[in-house]
Chains A and B, each alone.
Chain A
Amino acid sequence: MIKIEMQNVCLGYGRKVVLNDMTFQVMPGEMVGLIGPNGCGKSTIIKALSRVISPHSGKIFLDGKDISRIPRRDLARLLGVVPQVPLLPSTFTAFEIVLMGRNPHLGLFQYEGPEELAITWQAMERTATQPLAERRVGELSGGEVQCIIIARALAQETKAILLDEPTANLDIGRQVEILDLIKGLCRESNLTVLAALHDLNLASQYCDRLVLINKGRIHAEGTPREVIITQNIKEVYGTDGCVYTHPINGLPTVLLRSGNGKPAQTGDGVEGGVG
């Protein structure tokens, strides 16, 4: 229910500039997907929005407020993050990890009371991770860890969530389950969602709008129908992804074919090589 806004933001690490002059918005209750090739800066945007790195220039606003002026704890009550491949301390239990989502809601002199435990338990129920509660996270699979982290973000009870490849380690059943859950929160509680996604088909199915990033700039922005078109796919990914229409909901769907990587010439698979 809050607006995320980037205005002419330049991002990078040290002197290296990764992203130039980014301007885009995510409206309250909207689910926006960040797509683009490896290393295009999707994770960098998420780090900047959660104030882990600060922009070289430009401003980032959350609900109209400059995030560099929001104290970290207040920011963590507004904005939850599901990081990509999170490092977790292996001896903590899954429940203890999810409980950490309550941290920004507790002051120095407070401790986790029954309400905190209940919210945590609820978040684990919604992500179907309750059976894992007592397990040490070091013993869990990549997909299970991913769900734990999503549960942690839910327990954080924020008004916006940033997701960095939330489905990277999940099987297709869990992918749909988790994205349905997030989409549901987006619709019903007006949660603002920005998700970096690799899978163009998931991005197309779930996002209201997509931002396609390439070579440090926004290449295209708009609804999935406007962004996922053959020309964009070819320009950005260098592969002749064939864009079809989903037979049920009519959304653009990318189907791949072997041998269609670079050099993309005629579309004849055998000559194209493995690239």
Chain B
Amino acid sequence: MTLNQLKPSFKEQPVPIHFPHWRGRMYAILGLLVAFGAIVVFTTAVGSVQIPFSTICHVLFSKLPLVEATPTWPGIVETIILEVRLPRVILAGLVGGALALAGATYQGLFRNPLADPYLIGVAQGASLGAVVGFLLPSTWHGMGFGIIPVLAFIGALVSTTIVYSLARVGKTLPVTTLILAGVALGALLASIVSYLIISSGEKMHGIIFWLMGSFSLSQWSEVGVVLPYMVVGVVVILLYARSLNVMQLDEEQAQQLGVNVEKLKLVLLAAATLITAAAVSFVGTIGFVGIIIPHAVRMIWGPDHRFLLPLSLLSGAIFLILTDVIARTILAPTEIPIGVITAIVGAPFFLYLLRRRKRVLF
């Protein structure tokens, strides 16, 4: 009576469970994809110059390949849509998706619900890099999109590399050591940042605005820089979704189920850090998205990473696009830093979910 002999009876007795759950979650992914597309179009219509929805559709449609359309709208409208609003919406989507996905990855990898993309020093490193960039003489700022994103990116990667090498014990990387090293180095860098801000004089406003995050200067060139990191990071992380599920057991059981735990940690840390660093370099260290979106997704669709990761990616993108619309319209023409809005909008929604589901969450 081996398993093999019994297999035929299975065909007659189909698995009565789980397909429905999976189907529901697949529909959720598809639904969010559609919603993402609709929201991109819709939010492009919102702004100081009201552009009719139909015009947005026409302009976007005319840019598709193989479509011949004669412009019936003023050129300035096309410029606003394609050069001002669309890159901003897309960049917000990329950054939101990156932060939420990285947050879900860190939470899964560390088996810790409090983990967020900034846990092991990315944010503090990026902040220090950016602040140094602000304080450099302005002659340095000439190149391309400026020295600040470059320094922020380098700062993020350098600080996580330091945390990583500090936490390494022999050939292994104990997760608790990594978190503690990240928190300690983060505190050190944050205090340096604080000191630099206080002594920065008239540049203080710009620095604080950057730290709280803003999409106000978004351009296609920035999208072009962030996108490759995103694509690589997202593909790598999604491929390891099943391994991340097995990691939820514990490292010993994961090894016994064939997961190369140390390699998994290295690959996922690198991928998640890279997309986080790329995201924050341009728009500042936006909080809240990376920790809350994965939890909200987990509450609604369950802890299975094969669904949790793509759903977090899409939900994070949608969330940050909508938040950015609020940030740029609610007190227009003044813009509110998006880092302020994420929590003001997101926290009540999250608390509502928390009250609705009275079950163990993690």
A47 to B302, CA, bound (A): 31
Interface-centre pick from B15, B111, B243 (highest chain A CB count, 10 A) = B15
- A136 proximity list for chain B (CB < 8 A): 359-360
Residue of A nearest to B239 (CB): A108
Sample of 11 A–B contacts (CB below 8 Å): A77-B258, A87-B253, A89-B303, A91-B298, A91-B360, A92-B245, A95-B18, A104-B258, A120-B15, A122-B3, A122-B10
Contact A87 B256 (CB under 8 A): no
Residue B191 at the chain A interface, CB threshold 8 Å: no
Q: Is the CB of A101 within 8 A of B362?
A: no
| Residue on A nearest B240 in the bound complex, by CB | A108
A171 within 8 Å of B by Cβ? no
Task: Show the binding face of A for B, using Cβ within 8 Å.
Answer: 47, 50-52, 71-77, 79-81, 83, 86-92, 95-97, 100-101, 103-104, 106, 108-109, 111-112, 114, 117-123, 133-134, 136, 138, 154, 156-157, 184-185, 188-189
Which residue of A has the minimal Cβ distance to B245? Answer: A100
- B58 in the interface, Cβ–Cβ < 8 Å? no
CA distance A114 to B3 in the complex (A): 15
- Complex contacts, A76 vs chain B, CB 8 Å: 256-258
Q: B15 to chain A: which residues have CB within 8 Å?
A: 114, 117-118, 120-121
In the docked arrangement, what's the CA distance between A108 and B259, Å? 11
What's the dominant secondary structure at chain B's contact region?
Answer: loop
> Residue A86 contacts which of B18, B253, B259, B260 (CB distance < 8 angstroms)?
B253
Are B258 and A73 in contact, with the CB atoms below 8 A? yes
Task: Return the contact of B246 from the options A50, A90, A103, A185 (Cβ within 8 A).
Answer: A103
The answer to whether B243 touches A188, judged by C-beta atoms less than 8 angstroms apart, is: no
Quick check: A72 and B258 within 8 Å, CB to CB?
yes
- Chain B positions within 8 Å of A, measured between CB atoms, are 1-3, 6-7, 10, 15, 17-19, 111, 239-240, 242-243, 245-246, 248-250, 252-253, 255-260, 298, 302-304, 306, 359-362
Task: State in angstroms the CA–CA spacing of A189 and B3 once bound together.
Answer: 9
Verify B260–A73 contact, CB threshold 8 A. Answer: yes
Question: How many residue pairs at the A-B interface have CB separations less than 8 Å?
Answer: 110
Question: Which residues of the other chain, B, contact A83 by a CB distance below 8 angstroms?
Answer: 252-253, 256
**Beta-carbon contact of A154 and B258 below 8 Å:** no
Beta-carbon contact of A75 and B304 below 8 Å:
no
Question: Do the beta carbons of B303 and A75 come within 8 Å of each other?
Answer: no
B257 to chain A, nearest CB (A): 5
Q: What's the least CB distance linking B244 to chain A, in Å? A: 11
**Are B260 and A72 in contact, CB atoms less than 8 angstroms apart?**
yes
In the bound assembly, the distance between CA atoms of A96 and B305 in angstroms comes to: 11
Q: Give Cα distance in the complex from A119 to B2, angstroms.
A: 12
Decide: A100 and B246 in contact? CB cutoff 8 A. yes
Q: State the 4 A-B residue pairs at the shortest beta-carbon distance, nearest first.
A: A76-B258, A104-B258, A89-B248, A73-B258
Q: Nearest-CB distance from B146 to chain A (Å)? A: 38
If the complex has contacts A134-B17, A154-B3, are A86 and B249 also in contact, measured as CB distance less than 8 A?
yes
B2, B243, B360: the one contacting A189 at CB < 8 Å is B2
B residues within 8 A CB of A90?
360, 362
Contacts known (A121-B10, A121-B15); A91 close to B362, Cβ less than 8 A? yes
- The verdict on A118 contacting B2 (CB below 8 Å), with A133-B17, A134-B17 known, is no
B242 touches A118 (CB 8 A): no
Q: Which residue of B lies closest to A90 (CB)?
A: B360
Contact call B242/A106, Cβ cutoff below 8 A? yes
Q: Is the CB of B1 within 8 A of A184?
A: yes
Q: Find chain B residues with CB under 8 A from A100 CB.
A: 245-246, 249, 257
A108 to B318, CA, bound (A): 28
Contact residues in B for A91 (Cβ distance below 8 Å): 298, 302-303, 359-362
A118 near B252 with CB under 8 A, answer no
In the complex, chain B residues whose CB is within 8 Å of the CB of A120? 15
Cα–Cα, bound, A109→B253 (Å): 22
Asked if B258 and A92 sit within 8 Å, CB to CB, the answer is no
Shortest CB–CB separation between residue B152 and chain A, in angstroms? 32
Residues of B within 8 A of A114 (CB): 15
Q: CA A179 – CA B97 in complex, angstroms?
A: 49
